[in-house]
């Protein structure tokens, strides 16, 4: 197992190596921006999924106005998080900002929102990546869930090897996507405006999959526009990731993180708007079997061209690797929350490769469950996506307003105004999402986030209770205790004799040997063996007609407790240790079961006394 772990994950790294594991801006853009940049592959399509069933091809007329509103929102949020990076260079994003400025309650809401968001990020990114693959290779459509699970496994393994290694692996596909999509937008718009690329004819068969059978379209209502805008606003997901992991950058970390954030927002905004303009001019028909990006690539480059193949391959890669942003941010967030006592402490510790391995594994399992539960369909997951995103956005910006009002650093009025505008706009978007998508899935995070908050508080109460019970009162001194040692005897052999010798070396006040028998013949055999070895220690024999072991021993220990007062009882369990692990399967596990039962008894010490056969 150790050898397999080294092959898959790599050699352990010393803690002193942590400083050298920090990443450059060019790698950081690939690691932390893949989620946000990848949303350009499906955000425009999600807008059309809302509008086309209501307005048919006329829905394309609304693409550019909705996209412009999303771009303005992106700029406000991007500026706000840039301020967060410099204000809180230790990382933590909206959780840290809310904790420091709004209090425990809002910070736990932010924590629950962000963790939910990152689990959904992995599920949505993987399902969208699989959709890009199946658009090019239709034969794989019926295997999309299995393909998605395999991809989650590969990304999990890459991240377990370390942040630096994952960044190096994922940098090339990210930049290939940027070049491919940039080429599609520039070349497509050039051809469109010069007249060499005409609008595509309407595919009536595909359009019929989305419009009513009667042909009567309902038209675009205000609620439909709100729902379409909230679907397009998923383009903002992942914008906060850099503010969470500022310490992952090489010094000066805040400056490098801020530059990476600006580059990410610029690329994301340009590509999202460019795709919307190109779709408006080329007028692709929405399809269940092919993505809008694939249709545009076919129209601009030609389906069999190298450029089209690169576009589809890089789209699939960036959508899959978008999950890597969550694999970096989710474990980091879990570590920060666990440090504050609201998550299990195992999530705070770094693994062999200086990454938060436990957090990575938790994320992988949760995302895999979602992928299976929703059949790997991106559109089915999107309504769940935006609630957590915009809840954390709103809390973060509100917290930054409080920060500026309290600190009043130079230029605080302008910064407070920016954050206030960010809080207002993201709050409005959150309301839009809840109102317009509540019945089609947005209710799930509304229930899940409060459940997570209850979990956080329950974990914190447990840790507080443990600390309270372990605190030493002033002047406390331990009382003098009597010591009773009970040796469990299954038969008279070398292991039992060594356990008895060890028991006597403890110099207890009382020494008791006890065995459990199920019939008189068994009792007679063990009494004769005890006498044959001339053992002077008293042997208590418990009769168990139903061949039980644990319950008679527990009753016997209750009796021991009543024999002597103010005593601590040590139970010695002789255990035979075989040489090979598979040989252990040939022996019953009664000692293991008994130790599990005895662990929760107060005033009892359980000790295994191993006897090695080799």
Q: What is the pLDDT of residue 387?
A: 81
User: Taking the CB of residue 542, how many other CB atoms lie within 10 A of it?
Assistant: 17
208 band by pLDDT with thresholds 50, 70 and 90: confident
Distances (CA, A) of 263 to 257, 266, 271, 459, 474: 10, 5, 12, 39, 57
Question: Is 474 part of a structural domain of the chain?
Answer: no
CATH of the domain at 117: 1.20.1740.10
**What does the alpha-carbon distance between residue 230 and residue 441 come to, in Å, rounded to a whole number?**
13
Together in a domain, 194 and 267: yes
Q: What is the pLDDT of residue 183?
A: 94
Together in a domain, 457 and 487: no
User: Taking the CB of residue 581, how many other CB atoms lie within 10 A of it?
Assistant: 7
Mean pLDDT rounded to a whole number for the chain = 85
Q: What is the pLDDT of residue 140?
A: 79
Question: Is 353 part of a structural domain of the chain?
Answer: yes
8 A C-beta contact, residue 126 and residue 147: no
- Give CA torsion, residues 65, 325, 379, 67, to 10 deg: 0
Higher pLDDT, 351 or 598: 598
Q: What is the pLDDT of residue 384?
A: 64
Distances (CA, A) of 306 to 130, 300, 394, 508: 20, 12, 43, 82
Higher pLDDT, 587 or 221: 221
Q: What is the pLDDT of residue 19?
A: 64
Q: What is the pLDDT of residue 578?
A: 82
Question: Is 473 part of a structural domain of the chain?
Answer: no
Q: What are phi and psi of 477, to 5 degrees?
A: -135, 140
8 A C-beta contact, residue 66 and residue 233: no
* Tokens found for residue 502: 């060890």
Together in a domain, 373 and 446: yes
Q: What is the extent of the structural domain holding 584? A: 482-612
Together in a domain, 455 and 508: no
Q: What is the pLDDT of residue 378?
A: 58
Of 417, 433, 463, which residue is a domain's last? 463
**What does the alpha-carbon distance between residue 92 and residue 345 come to, in Å, rounded to a whole number?**
17
Q: What is the mean pLDDT of residues 206-213?
A: 78
Helix (H, G, I), strand (E, B) or coil at 302: coil
Together in a domain, 435 and 290: yes
488 band by pLDDT with thresholds 50, 70 and 90: very high
Together in a domain, 274 and 223: yes
Higher pLDDT, 307 or 591: 307
Q: What is the mean pLDDT of residues 133-161?
A: 82
Helix (H, G, I), strand (E, B) or coil at 614: coil
Distances (CA, A) of 77 to 70, 163, 392, 410, 582: 10, 26, 11, 21, 58
Together in a domain, 137 and 226: yes
Q: Which residues contact 194 (CB under 8 A, 6 or more apart)?
A: none
Q: Which region among 263-272, 375-384, 397-406 has the lowest average model confidence (pLDDT)?
A: 375-384
Question: Is 472 part of a structural domain of the chain?
Answer: no
Question: Is 330 part of a structural domain of the chain?
Answer: yes
Question: Is 475 part of a structural domain of the chain?
Answer: no
Bridge partner list, 569 = 484, 604
Together in a domain, 534 and 454: no
Of 400, 428, 463, which residue is a domain's last? 463
8 A C-beta contact, residue 231 and residue 316: no
Together in a domain, 333 and 381: yes
With 80 as the cut, is the pLDDT of residue 583 above it? no
Of 429, 463, 497, which residue is a domain's last? 463
Higher pLDDT, 438 or 394: 394
CATH of the domain at 606: 3.40.50.620
pLDDT, tens only, 521-550 = 888 898 888 988 888 888 999 988 877 888
Cα–Cα nearest to 240, from 82, 125, 347: 82
Q: What is the mean pLDDT of residues 135-146?
A: 78
| Percentage of the chain modeled with pLDDT above 70 | 93
User: Taking the CB of residue 567, how many other CB atoms lie within 10 A of it?
Assistant: 17
User: Taking the CB of residue 48, how many other CB atoms lie within 10 A of it?
Assistant: 25
In 88-162, which ranges are continuous DSSP H helix? 93-101, 104-136, 144-160
Q: What is the mean pLDDT of residues 481-503?
A: 90
465 band by pLDDT with thresholds 50, 70 and 90: very high
pLDDT, tens only, 355-375 = 788 999 999 999 898 888 877
3 band by pLDDT with thresholds 50, 70 and 90: confident
Together in a domain, 436 and 488: no
Cα–Cα nearest to 392, from 223, 253, 244, 249: 244
Q: What is the pLDDT of residue 486?
A: 93
* Tokens found for residue 94: 């909206």
Distances (CA, A) of 214 to 160, 208, 210, 257, 328: 53, 10, 12, 54, 48
Which helix (H) or strand (E) element contains residue 612?
strand 604-612
**What does the alpha-carbon distance between residue 386 and residue 232 come to, in Å, rounded to a whole number?**
10
Cα–Cα nearest to 418, from 89, 100, 86, 111: 86
**What does the alpha-carbon distance between residue 209 and residue 441 come to, in Å, rounded to a whole number?**
22
CA 196 from centroid of its chain's CA atoms: 47
Q: What is the mean pLDDT of residues 204-211?
A: 82
Together in a domain, 398 and 533: no
pLDDT, tens only, 48-83 = 888 888 888 888 888 899 999 899 889 988 888 888
Structural domain tally of the chain? Answer: 2
Q: What is the pLDDT of residue 338?
A: 93
Q: What is the pLDDT of residue 165?
A: 64
Question: Is 371 part of a structural domain of the chain?
Answer: yes
Helix (H, G, I), strand (E, B) or coil at 517: strand
User: Taking the CB of residue 411, how many other CB atoms lie within 10 A of it?
Assistant: 10
Question: Is 470 part of a structural domain of the chain?
Answer: no
Together in a domain, 393 and 441: yes
218 band by pLDDT with thresholds 50, 70 and 90: low
Cα–Cα nearest to 539, from 519, 513, 570: 513
User: Taking the CB of residue 52, how many other CB atoms lie within 10 A of it?
Assistant: 23
Bridge partner list, 486 = 512, 571
């Amino acid at each position: 197992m150790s050898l397999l772990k080294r092959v898959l994950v790599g050699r352990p790294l010393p803690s002193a190596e942590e400083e050298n594991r920090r990443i450059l801006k060019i790698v950081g853009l690939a690691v932390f921006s893949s989620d946000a940049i990848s949303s350009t592959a499906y955000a425009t399509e999600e807008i059309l999924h809302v509008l086309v069933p209501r307005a048919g091809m006329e829905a394309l007329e609304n693409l550019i106005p909705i996209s412009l509103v999303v771009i303005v929102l992106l700029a406000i949020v991007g500026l706000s998080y840039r301020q967060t990076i410099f204000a809180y260079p230790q990382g933590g994003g909206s959780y840290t900002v809310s904790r420091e400025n709004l209090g425990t309650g809002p910070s736990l809401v932010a924590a629950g929102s962000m963790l939910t968001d990152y689990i959904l990020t992995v599920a949505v990114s993987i399902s969208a990546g699989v959709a890009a693959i199946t658009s090019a290779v239709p034969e794989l459509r019926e295997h999309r869930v299995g393909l998605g699970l395999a991809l989650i496994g590969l990304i999990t393994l890459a991240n377990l090897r370390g942040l630096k290694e994952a960044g190096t692996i994922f940098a090339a596909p990210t930049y290939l996507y940027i070049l491919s999509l940039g080429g599609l937008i520039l070349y497509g718009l050039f051809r469109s405006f010069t007249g060499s690329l005409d609008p595509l004819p309407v595919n009536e068969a595909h359009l019929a999959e989305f419009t009513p059978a009667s042909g009567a379209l309902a038209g675009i209502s205000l609620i439909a526009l709100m729902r379409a805008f909230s679907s397009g606003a998923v383009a903002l997901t992942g914008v906060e990731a850099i503010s969470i992991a500022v310490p992952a950058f090489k010094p000066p970390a805040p400056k490098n993180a801020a530059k990476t954030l600006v580059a990410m927002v610029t690329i994301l905004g340009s590509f999202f708007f460019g795709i919307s303009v190109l779709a408006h001019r080329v007028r692709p028909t929405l399809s269940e079997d092919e993505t809008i990006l694939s249709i545009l690539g076919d129209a601009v480059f030609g389906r069999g061209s190298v450029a089209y193949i690169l576009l589809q391959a890089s789209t699939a890669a960036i959508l899959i690797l978008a999950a890597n942003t969550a694999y970096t941010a989710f474990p980091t967030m879990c570590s920060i929350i666990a440090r504050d006592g609201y998550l299990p402490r195992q999530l705070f510790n770094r693994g062999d490769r200086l990454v938060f391995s436990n957090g990575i594994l938790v994320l992988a399992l949760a995302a895999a469950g979602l992928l299976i539960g929703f059949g790997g369909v991106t559109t089915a997951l999107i309504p769940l996506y935006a609630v957590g995103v915009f809840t954390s956005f709103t809390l973060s910006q509100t917290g930054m307003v409080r920060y500026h009002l309290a600190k009043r650093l130079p230029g605080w009025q302008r910064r407070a105004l920016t954050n206030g505008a960010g809080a207002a706009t993201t709050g409005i978007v959150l309301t839009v999402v809840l109102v317009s998508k509540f019945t089609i899935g947005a209710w799930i995070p509304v229930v899940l986030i409060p459940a997570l908050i209850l979990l956080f508080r329950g974990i914190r109460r447990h840790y507080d209770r443990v600390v309270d019970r372990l605190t030493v009162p002033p002047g406390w001194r331990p009382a003098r205790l009597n010591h009773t040692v009970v040796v469990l005897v299954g038969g008279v052999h070398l292991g039992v004799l060594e356990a008895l010798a060890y028991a006597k070396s403890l110099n207890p006040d009382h020494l008791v040997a006890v065995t459990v028998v199920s019939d008189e013949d068994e009792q007679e055999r063990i009494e004769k063996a005890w006498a044959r070895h001339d053992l002077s220690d008293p042997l208590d024999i418990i009769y168990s007609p139903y061949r039980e072991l644990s319950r008679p021993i527990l009753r016997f220990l209750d009796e021991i407790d009543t024999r002597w007062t103010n005593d601590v009882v040590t139970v010695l369990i002789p255990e035979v240790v075989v040489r090979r692990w598979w040989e252990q399967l040939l022996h019953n596990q009664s000692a293991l079961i008994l130790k599990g039962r005895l662990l929760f008894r107060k005033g009892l010490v359980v000790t295994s006394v191993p006897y090695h056969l080799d």
